[in-house]
Structure 1
Amino acid sequence: MWNKIAIFIIKNRLRLLILLALLTAFMGYKAKDAEMSYDFANVVSPDDPDMVYFQRFKETFGEDGNILVVGMQSAKAYKLDNFRELKSLSDQLNTVEGVKAVISLPNLIQVVKDTADRKFTTAPIFNPMPQTQAQLDSMLRVVRSQGFYDGQIINQKTGATLLAVTVDPDYLNSARRVQVMDDVMAHTEAFSKKTGIKLHYAGLPFVRAVMTTKVAAEMKMFLVLALLVTGITLFIFFRSFYAVIFPLLMISMVVVWVLGTLAILDYKISLLTGLIPAILVVIGIPNTTYLLTRYHYDYRKHGNKIMALARVISKIGVVNLVTNTTTAIGFIVFTFTHVAILYEFGVVAGINIFVTYIISIVLIPVVFSYLPPPTPRQLRHLDAKPLNKFLEFLDHLVHHKRHLVYFFTIVALLASFWGIYKVKTVSYMVDDLPAESSVNADLAFFEHHFSGVMPLEIIVDTGIKQGVMRLPNLNKLNQLEDFLRTQPILSAPISIVGLVKTATQAFYEGDPNSYRLPDNTERNFVFSYLAKQDSGDNQRLLRSFVDSTGQTARISLKVADAGSRELDTLIISKIKPELHEIYGGEGVSVTEEGNTMTFTRDETGAETKVSLTGTTLLFIKGNEYLINNLRSSLVLAFVLVTIVIALLFKSARVVIISVIPNMIPLLIAGGLMGVFNIPLKPSTALIFSIALGIAIDDSIHFLAKYRSELLSNGFHVSRAITTSLTEAGTSMIYTSIILFFGFVIFAFSEFGGTKALGVLMSVSLLIALFTNLIILPTLLMSFDSGKYKRDPYALIEHYDEFYLEHEDEELDLNQLKLKFEEELPEEVSA
């Protein structure tokens, strides 16, 4: 069959080139519609109890992750001229399209008592704007007397203050976010330049905008680097510009197909899918390396270009199909995770790995059929003395130093298990940006002055309409808030409790000592004023922290990006026990579902539900969910790869022997993670199934060559291994070097996860090269007798990687009738 395919491709080469060009042009047309992702993907299952609750929370209280904060700590901010500039900045930001509200020092309000109408009203503190420094200082003292703002807008101990810019969610989750951020930054940078006050930025809108911009920039950078590195490597190996230009043309076409696939499937370019073009450049080039190496081997054997190209297709074509299948398995397994970002990554990568195979098996032979045959200089790489000496050294190890191979393998595995034991699983909201980045520096500013900016919510459902405003419930909320203030990674909480305390303070004419909950005697007076609230600012603020029925209260917090482990400790070991203390007790039973605790009074059946939710918790839980899914993906990849090997060789012994050398690199990579304190997170867990799918290719090439050499050497294992190392080893080394340098480029990423992926992947594949060149043949020497019966159901029996004259069905090359074709030797024509 493959001989017929070879003849078909070469005979119809012009038609196939035109068809490839037209299809690629169509995909290029679709590629223009590929869009960037502007949202943190929801990776937690929609049916997960915490996700279900979070969606209900957003329906009641709105988005919790749509606030951009701009902070400053400078005495200049409290000078009259600069304060006026700050007021002007606040007004300007309010006019930016996509900004819903701005809260800052100059536009703060205070609650005042209207004795005539016996209600509370609100009034701007800085109205009219102060005209002298003395007036400003007096008004600032009023702000500092408002306990509600301490730790929220101003830190009275350090003098830091911030602006909170609320972004419309419709803008936040679309390409319009970039314009909103640019407009905001234009105003804030102008303010900073005019006043000399350094500004710090944080909040999910800002972090997402920064990451989106960097993803787009790095996608282009890695694509260029991948093409450059693979191009240089190909030239060093083959000493031919043709062997560089056309493989790069082939892989450039694949990049167009990737972007077109994203657009057709309506997937966005995310941190993961943005890596696919560069990854496919790296793993696609080995297709051409095997094709060109075989082409050069065959051409040197008989000097006929067309016959050599036809045999490239008929012999290497099927081997590359199998190796591309195993590579694709490493990606396709992600489609079984039911996680959108992984599913999309797996689908697009899996499809385009096979696209890479089809383009390479058509384009490379066809193009080289038009080009002059390789020169002696271009064939010189087949006799590279340093490479041959190195392969001879490996052959010596396999034949004479097997005990050392096994010894050092066992030592490496023991060290790896020790390292794996030390691996920690931890995730951060801003997980991928380097420690020295301005984003992390700004986060450190807010964590120091305001204990963080990542949203965390605690929702208390009293179980009774208007139950929130009952004094016992308010006291319990206040007790919880007092506890939360003692936690160093949490900001000062803000809730209905703060509003009631502010109302009590207003009732006593703004006395700072009266910022507290009213007692039983004061309750009726204060609450009678609150009951007369209209639909003004105070009422809207009230509705931000209590639902429309008055049954559910919201405590809004900000948390430092301390990592999933510390956050889990805070919730499980501190907050939940405190909730037991406050809402539990004798005669109260407690049940938990996810992060929701239900306290039921046994005698009455009355329930109080306390839930922890928010973007931060869902993001951290999503990362843990991803890691668990990636572990399952690795197991599935291992099973599928094993099935492929079993179908190829129909031998349990060969399956075991081939899998061992490819599991060792993964174990060593896991050990290195523990030794160098690289945490297990989605980006690092991702590499294992991908590396397995790619690394197994070397085993397939080696075993295919080994099987054919057994046949031609009378089932003599030692000679078959020596020949396999010499001939298959060359291509294995070429492709592994390309893969190594190709993945190393990701180490230049600003994203920590991408950097770790690049380093661990390149190291894993380099180690896999040595395990397949040393441990695999060593195992064959020790455990394979070399004797086997041909099995018509084993796929390996239907092809040989290298040409065997006595078995090859002759190619009827005279069918091709190529105009420029040299005369075929009589002995090879049918």
Structure 2
Amino acid sequence: MWNKIAIFIIKNRLRLILLLAVLTAFMAYQAKDVEMSYDFANVVSPDDPDMEYFQRFKQTFGEDGNVLVVGMQDKQVYQLHNFQELNKLTKDLKQVEGVKAVIALPNLVQVVKDTAERKFITQNIFEPFPQTQQQLDEHLKIVRNQGFYDGQIINDKTGATLLAVTMDPAYLNSARRTEVMDNILVHTNAFSKDTGVQLHYAGLPFVRSVMTTKVAGEMKLFLVLALIVTAVSLFLFFRSFFAVLIPIVVISVVVIWVLGIISLFGYKISLLTGLIPSIIVVIGIPNSTYLLARYHLDYRRHGNKILALTRVISKIGLVNLVNNTTTAIGFIVFTFTHIAILYEFGVVAGINIFVTFFISMILVPAMFSYLPPPTERQLRHLDAKPLNKLLEFFDYIVHCKRHLVYFFLTIIMALSFYGIYKVKTVSYMVDDLPEESSVNADLAFFEQHFNGVMPLEVIVDTGSKQGVMRLPNLRKLEELEDYLRTQPILSAPISVVGLVKTATQAFYEGDPNSYRLPDNTERNFIFSYLAKQDEGANQKLLRSFVDSTGQRARISLKVADVGSRELDTLLLKKIKPQLAEIYGGEGVRLEEVGNSMRFIREDTGSETSVSLTGTTLLFIKGNEYLINNLRSSLLLAFVLVTITIALLFKSIRVVVISLIPNMIPLLIAGGLMGFFNIPLKPSTALIFSIALGIAIDDSIHFLAKYRHELQRNGFNISRAITSSLEEAGTSMIYTSVILFFGFVIFAFSEFGGTKALGVLMSVSLLIALFTNLIILPTLLMSFDSGKYERDPYALIEQIDEAYFEEDDEELDLAQLSLKMNQEEPDNREVQRV
């Protein structure tokens, strides 16, 4: 079959090149519409109870992650001129398209009592705007007397203050986000320049904007670096300009296909899919490397360029197809996770690995058929003299020092398992940004002065309409808030309790000591004032914390980005036990579903439920969900690779022997994570199934050569292994070096996860090279009998016959007529090949 395919490709090479050109132009046209992802992916299943509750929360109270905060700590802010500039900044930001509201010191309001109308009204604290420093200081004193704002807009202890900019969700999840952020930064930068006050930025809109910009920049950077690294590696190996140019052309075409397919499928460039073009460059080059090495080997044998190119297709086609299949397995397994970002990553990478195979099988032979044949200088790499000494050393170890191999392997495995035991699973909201990033520095500012900015919500369902405003329920809410204030990683809570306390303070003419809940005597008076509220600012603010039925109350907090482990400790060992103490008790049954707790009174059947929700909790849970699915993906990849090897060799012994050298690098990588304190998170868990799919290629390549050499050497295992190391070792080293340096480039990423992926992947593949050149032949020496029966149905037999057949088999010469190039020795215009 492969002979027919080879003849078809060579005979129709021009037509195929033109067809690929048309299809690539179409993909380039599609690629122009590819978009960036401007949102953190929802990776938690839509059927998950916590996700379902979060969606209901957003329908009732709106988005919780659409606030950008701008903080400052500078006494100069409270000087009249600078405060005037802050007032101007507040007004300017409100005019920015995509900004819904701005809350800052200059536009804060206070609640006052209208005795005539017997209701509460709001007044802007800074109207009329102060004209002297003394007037400003008096107004600032009023702000500090408002308990509602303490820890929210101003930290009276440190003097820090912030602006809270609420953005329209329609802008957050589109390309317009960047324009909104740029316009905001124009005004804030002007304020800093005019006043000399340093500003700090945080909040999910800002973090997402920064990450999106960096993803786009790094995608281009890594693509260029991958092309440079692979080009240099190819030149060092082949010493030929065209041996570099043509594989780069092949990979460039595939990159266009990657972007085109992303656009065609309606996907967007995310932190994961943004890595695919660079990854495809790295893992796609071995296709061309195998083709070029075989082309040079065949040409040196008989000196006929067209015959050599035809035989390249017929002999390497199946080998490359098997290699691409095992590599694709490492990515395709992600499509079984039912998580959008992993599914898209698996689909796009899996498809384009096979696209790389087909494009390289067409373009490399076709384009080289129009070029001069390789020179003697370009063929010198076939001798691989610099590598001979290394391979001879490996052969010596395998034959004479097997006991040392097993001894050191035992020690390394013991250390690896110990390191794996130390690995921790930790996820952070800004996990991928470097520690020295300005984003992390700004987050530290807000955690120091406001205990964090990541949203966390507590929803209390009283079980009855208008139940929130009942004094016993308000007191329980207050008790919960008082406890939450004691947690150092939580900001001051804000809820209806604060509004009622503010109303009590207003009822007593703004007395700071009256910022409290009313007692039973005061309740009717104060609530009668509240009942007369119109749809003004107070009523809108109330609706932000109480649903339209008055049954559910919202406590809104901000939490420091302390990581999933500490956050879990806070929820499970502190907040939930406190909730049980407040709402539970004798005669109350507790039921828990996810982060929701239901307290049911046994005597009346009435119930109160408390739910913890918010973007932060869903993001952390999503990362844990991702890690669990990636573990399943690794298991699935292991099973699929095992099946592939079983189909190839039809031997249980070979399956076991081949898997051991490829599991060792993964165990060592896990051990290194433990020793170097690299946490298990989505970006690091990702490498294991991918590395397994790529590394197994070397095992298949070596074992196929080993079986062939067994036959040639009369089933003498020792001589077969020596010959296999000499002949297969060189190409294994070439491809592994390319893969190593290709993945090392990701170590230069600003994203911690991508950096860890690059380091661990490159180390894993380098270790896999040595395990396949040392441990695999050592295991064969120890446990293989050297005898096997040829199975005509085993796929490996076809690889043996195709790839390792040394005698020139006869092609159907009558099927192929080609015009000879000027460089052909006989200069005949037409030669039958």
| TM class, shorter-length | over 0.9
> Is 1:802 aligned to residue 768 of structure 2?
no
> Is 1:576 aligned to residue 576 of structure 2?
yes
Unaligned 5+ runs, structure 2 = none
Quote the offset at 1:524 in angstroms.
Answer: 1.1
Q: Deviations over 1:624-659 (max 9, x none)?
A: 000000000000000000100000010111111100
Which residue of the partner structure matches residue 585 of structure 1?
Answer: 585
Task: Find the aligned partners of 2:386 and 2:405 in 1 and give their Cα distance.
Answer: 22
Quote the offset at 1:622 in angstroms.
Answer: 0.2
Which residue of the partner structure matches residue 237 of structure 1?
Answer: 237
Which residue of the partner structure matches residue 664 of structure 2?
Answer: 664
Task: Find the aligned partners of 2:826 and 2:599 in 1 and give their Cα distance.
Answer: 88
Contact 1:811 1:829 in 2 (8 A): no
Which residue of the partner structure matches residue 221 of structure 2?
Answer: 221
Task: Find the aligned partners of 1:456 and 1:422 in 2 and give their Cα distance.
Answer: 30
Which residue of the partner structure matches residue 449 of structure 2?
Answer: 449
Which residue of the partner structure matches residue 119 of structure 1?
Answer: 119
Task: Find the aligned partners of 1:52 and 1:436 in 2 and give their Cα distance.
Answer: 37
Aligned pairs for 1:206-605 within 5 A? 206-605=206-605
Task: Find the aligned partners of 1:45 and 1:824 in 2 and give their Cα distance.
Answer: 68
State the one-letter code of the partner of 1:792: P
Root-mean-square deviation (CA, aligned residues, Å) is 1.3
State the one-letter code of the partner of 1:191: F
Which residue of the partner structure matches residue 644 of structure 2?
Answer: 644
Quote the offset at 1:197 in angstroms.
Answer: 0.3
Task: Find the aligned partners of 2:775 and 2:21 in 1 and give their Cα distance.
Answer: 44
Aligned pairs for 1:705-724 within 5 A? 705-724=705-724
Quote the offset at 1:824 in angstroms.
Answer: 9.0
Task: Find the aligned partners of 2:813 and 2:408 in 1 and give their Cα distance.
Answer: 51
Quote the offset at 1:714 in angstroms.
Answer: 1.9
Task: Find the aligned partners of 1:624 and 1:293 in 2 and give their Cα distance.
Answer: 44
> Is 1:2 aligned to residue 2 of structure 2?
yes
SS at match of 2:525: helix
Which residue of the partner structure matches residue 192 of structure 2?
Answer: 192
Query: After the TM superposition, which of the residue ranges 592-601 and 517-526 deviates more from structure 2?
Result: 517-526
Contact 2:77 2:197 in 1 (8 A): yes
Quote the offset at 1:479 in angstroms.
Answer: 0.3
Contact 1:499 1:542 in 2 (8 A): yes
Aligned pairs for 1:762-777 within 5 A? 762-777=762-777
Q: Deviations over 1:573-596 (max 9, x none)?
A: 000000011000111110100000
Quote the offset at 1:331 in angstroms.
Answer: 0.2
State the one-letter code of the partner of 2:134: A
Task: Find the aligned partners of 1:370 and 1:642 in 2 and give their Cα distance.
Answer: 41
Quote the offset at 1:814 in angstroms.
Answer: 5.4
State the one-letter code of the partner of 2:359: I
Quote the offset at 1:218 in angstroms.
Answer: 0.2
SS at match of 1:212: helix
SS at match of 2:608: strand
Which residue of the partner structure matches residue 153 of structure 2?
Answer: 153
Distance 1:418 1:360, change over 3 A: same
Quote the offset at 1:454 in angstroms.
Answer: 0.2
Quote the offset at 1:812 in angstroms.
Answer: 2.9
Quote the offset at 1:805 in angstroms.
Answer: 4.1
Task: Find the aligned partners of 2:526 and 2:804 in 1 and give their Cα distance.
Answer: 95
Contact 2:642 2:655 in 1 (8 A): yes
SS at match of 1:370: coil
Quote the offset at 1:386 in angstroms.
Answer: 2.0
Quote the offset at 1:128 in angstroms.
Answer: 0.7
Task: Find the aligned partners of 1:34 and 1:727 in 2 and give their Cα distance.
Answer: 44
SS at match of 2:59: helix
State the one-letter code of the partner of 1:549: T
The alignment-based identity, stated in percent, is 80
State the one-letter code of the partner of 2:317: G
Q: Deviations over 1:11-32 (max 9, x none)?
A: 1111111111111111011100
Contact 2:493 2:555 in 1 (8 A): yes
Task: Find the aligned partners of 1:711 and 1:813 in 2 and give their Cα distance.
Answer: 30
Contact 2:323 2:697 in 1 (8 A): yes
Quote the offset at 1:813 in angstroms.
Answer: 4.1
Task: Find the aligned partners of 1:711 and 1:229 in 2 and give their Cα distance.
Answer: 39
Contact 1:7 1:813 in 2 (8 A): no
Contact 1:698 1:769 in 2 (8 A): yes
State the one-letter code of the partner of 2:805: L
Task: Find the aligned partners of 2:317 and 2:256 in 1 and give their Cα distance.
Answer: 23
Task: Find the aligned partners of 1:752 and 1:829 in 2 and give their Cα distance.
Answer: 58
Quote the offset at 1:785 in angstroms.
Answer: 1.6
State the one-letter code of the partner of 1:798: Q
Quote the offset at 1:305 in angstroms.
Answer: 1.5
Contact 2:319 2:803 in 1 (8 A): no
Aligned pairs for 1:159-198 within 5 A? 159-198=159-198
SS at match of 1:714: coil
Quote the offset at 1:181 in angstroms.
Answer: 0.4
Task: Find the aligned partners of 1:803 and 1:595 in 2 and give their Cα distance.
Answer: 61
Contact 2:816 2:832 in 1 (8 A): no
Unaligned 5+ runs, structure 1 = none
Quote the offset at 1:799 in angstroms.
Answer: 2.5
Task: Find the aligned partners of 1:636 and 1:281 in 2 and give their Cα distance.
Answer: 25
TM-score (norm. length: structure 2):
0.98
Contact 1:227 1:281 in 2 (8 A): yes
SS at match of 2:113: strand
State the one-letter code of the partner of 1:779: L
* Structure 1 moving runs of 4+ over 3 Å: 821-825
TM-score (norm. length: structure 1):
0.99
State the one-letter code of the partner of 1:417: F
Contact 2:705 2:804 in 1 (8 A): no
Quote the offset at 1:339 in angstroms.
Answer: 0.1
SS at match of 1:166: strand
Q: Deviations over 1:714-769 (max 9, x none)?
A: 22211111111111111100000000000000000000000000000000000000
Quote the offset at 1:683 in angstroms.
Answer: 0.3
Task: Find the aligned partners of 2:423 and 2:343 in 1 and give their Cα distance.
Answer: 26
Contact 1:251 1:284 in 2 (8 A): yes
Distance 1:226 1:805, change over 3 A: closer
Q: Deviations over 1:229-280 (max 9, x none)?
A: 0000110111111111110010000000000000000000000000000000
Task: Find the aligned partners of 1:118 and 1:829 in 2 and give their Cα distance.
Answer: 105
Quote the offset at 1:803 in angstroms.
Answer: 3.6
> Is 1:751 aligned to residue 751 of structure 2?
yes
State the one-letter code of the partner of 2:430: V
Which residue of the partner structure matches residue 19 of structure 2?
Answer: 19
SS at match of 2:417: helix
SS at match of 1:197: coil
Aligned pairs for 1:25-44 within 5 A? 25-44=25-44
SS at match of 1:562: coil
SS at match of 1:818: strand
SS at match of 1:431: coil
Task: Find the aligned partners of 1:311 and 1:406 in 2 and give their Cα distance.
Answer: 41
Q: Deviations over 1:596-619 (max 9, x none)?
A: 000011100010000000000000
SS at match of 1:608: strand
Contact 1:307 1:813 in 2 (8 A): no
Quote the offset at 1:829 in angstroms.
Answer: 8.2
Q: Deviations over 1:403-439 (max 9, x none)?
A: 1111111111111000000000000000000000000
Aligned pairs for 1:58-137 within 5 A? 58-137=58-137
Task: Find the aligned partners of 1:95 and 1:246 in 2 and give their Cα distance.
Answer: 54
